[in-house]
Amino acid sequence: MSEGRILVVEDDFDISNMLRIYFQSQGYEVTVAPRGGDALEMCRQQLPHIVVLDIMLPDIDGYEVCRQLRGNLRTKHIPIIFLTQKDERSDKIHGLELGADDYITKPFDVEELKLRVKNSMARAAYESLTNPTTGLPSSKLIEEQLRGLMRRDDWGIIYAGIKGLEAFSEVYGFVASDEVLRFTAMVLGETVDTLGTPNDFIGHIGGDDFIVITEKRLIRPIVKDLMNRFADGIGTHYDFKARQQGYIVVRDKHGNEQKVGLMELAIGIITSDDGPFTDIREITEAAATARREGRLP
């Protein structure tokens, strides 16, 4: 099982390659970006659990990368550790003012960096900021966004789950199920990037439950695109026979065989028009009911 996803943003190949090899040997998934722009694009494609960020980069500097990550609702929660040759106090203060979580100066002890990475990720998990499987914002950040809806009248919520994931997990195992969760998070991100706004929010409530908070005028196109992307890509998680048949075979509690169709999204939506709502519990209950009833725009 992976220890987590690390994005190393470093233009020095020797350093980035050393970090990639070392952290992979420690059980982490490691992606390397040699430029700041590449790092921002990679974060849009798949959220890392932590970013190890050099300040001196060939295009935009690490400060600007940090500023953009912290300024985006979907990436502001990701822990950032600055990695740089600069050791001036003012540089450290500037990085921390921008929202960096930690700072380590070259030349560095890789064991110390590993502990800083581990501690930053553990702190984010302890504070319920991110889901450990997908890296998406979790309970506290979701609650924070829902409270903000009390002051708006133009919002829409998409509450999505994965129909058939339990049967899939029974056949293919929990590792494959985690890959489906990460695939779903990626699909949500791609859809919102394409059709949403920079202020839209994507969260992983837990299990196979996801939430998108957007503007109510965007609900219909986002839901349509989301369902199409999921349907187009979910087949790759099955073996050839299951894809051809369009189902898998599982046994119920009595030992009888049952055919279960390929996974699909179960979606419900609510908007500010379904209110008024006086607290976030009413919103979450309404969203859960909408999903159970399959209430679509």
pLDDT in tens, 94-144: 777 888 888 888 888 999 999 999 999 988 877 768 888 898 998 888 999
* Per-residue pLDDT at 80 exceeds 70: yes
With cut-offs at 50, 70 and 90, classify the pLDDT of residue 88. Answer: low
Domain residues of the chain, as ranges?
Answer: 5-126, 139-292
pLDDT band, very low/low/confident/very high, at 86 (cuts 50, 70, 90): low
What would the mean pLDDT of 147-154 be, rounded to a whole number?
88
pTM above 0.95?
no
The tokens for 201 are: 């929010």
Q: CATH says 139-292 is which class?
A: alpha beta
In CATH, which of 1.10.3720.10, 3.40.50.2300, 3.90.1150.10, 3.30.565.10 is domain 5-126?
3.40.50.2300
What pLDDT does 87 receive? 64
pLDDT tens-place string over residues 200-248? 999 999 999 999 999 999 999 999 999 999 999 999 999 999 999 999 9
How confident is the model over 17-75, as pLDDT tens digits?
Answer: 999 999 999 999 999 999 999 999 999 888 899 999 998 899 999 999 999 999 888 88
Give the whole-number percent of the chain exceeding pLDDT 90: 66
Rounded to whole angstroms, the Cα distance separating 11 from 226 reads 35
